[in-house]
Amino acid sequence: MKPNILLLAEDLEDDIFLFERALRRRNIACVVRVASNGNEALDYLFGKNKFANRVAFPLPSLVILDIKMPEMDGLEALKHIRQDARLSKLPVLIFTSSKCEEDVELAYELGANAYMVKPADINQLGEMLEVMTKFWFGINVLPNLRQV
């Protein structure tokens, strides 16, 4: 059985630390790969630059994008993902601190599979990640994507 690989696009080190810590506290088994912005997330997904080795950096089963990141934000990255036929079925979740209705609407218009607001508490974060991973890696049947 291949491991569940999750690509997290997040620019804030503290948020990455809390995300990974919440997964560990809940004993959630998945491999987390981190991209610091939308450009790096696309490089990972398309196997470019430092992510060219597909053995070391296989295509993830799930992508989680923050919205507010430098260089390229999560919504712009989502647009690029959905425009590529090879990645169009890849589940992409927005995970952000923004509760802005316009961000929510735009995320879904661009093809997000879910929009989640980051909780302030690590216990709530753990609960959220547990439910999310149980659904996406356990209940849901993921598409079989060709390597890009």
**Strands, E assignment, the chain:** 5-9, 31-35, 62-65, 92-96, 114-117
128 in a domain, yes or no? yes
84 in a domain, yes or no? yes
Identify the domain containing residue 84 by its residue range. Answer: 6-136
Phi, psi for 49 (deg, rounded to 5): 55, -125
147 in a domain, yes or no? no
- pLDDT at position 148 is 62
Query: Exposed (0-12), middle (13-18) or buried (19+): which is 144, by Cβ within 10 Å?
Result: exposed
**Strand order through the sheet with 5-9:** 31-35, 5-9, 62-65, 92-96, 114-117
Q: What is the pLDDT of residues 45-75, one digit of tens each?
A: 999 999 999 999 999 999 999 999 999 999 9
50 in a domain, yes or no? yes
Confidence band of 87 (pLDDT split at 50, 70, 90): very high
Q: Number of structural domains, the chain?
A: 1
pLDDT at residue 116 tops 70: yes
- DSSP class of residue 135 equals I
pLDDT at residue 115 tops 90: yes
Q: What CATH number has the domain bearing residue 14?
A: 3.40.50.2300
Is the distance from CB of 63 to CB of 25 less than 8 angstroms?
no
144 in a domain, yes or no? no
125 in a domain, yes or no? yes
- pLDDT at position 141 is 84
Collect all residues with Cβ–Cβ distance below 8 Å to 134 and sequence separation of at least 6. none
Q: What is the pLDDT of residues 31-46, one digit of tens each?
A: 999 999 999 999 999 9
Rounded to 5°, the CA angle 135-89-141 comes to 35
In whole angstroms, give the CA distance from residue 52 to residue 93: 24
Is the distance from CB of 84 to CB of 65 less than 8 angstroms?
no
Is the distance from CB of 27 to CB of 16 less than 8 angstroms?
no
Is the distance from CB of 43 to CB of 51 less than 8 angstroms?
yes
Confidence band of 3 (pLDDT split at 50, 70, 90): confident
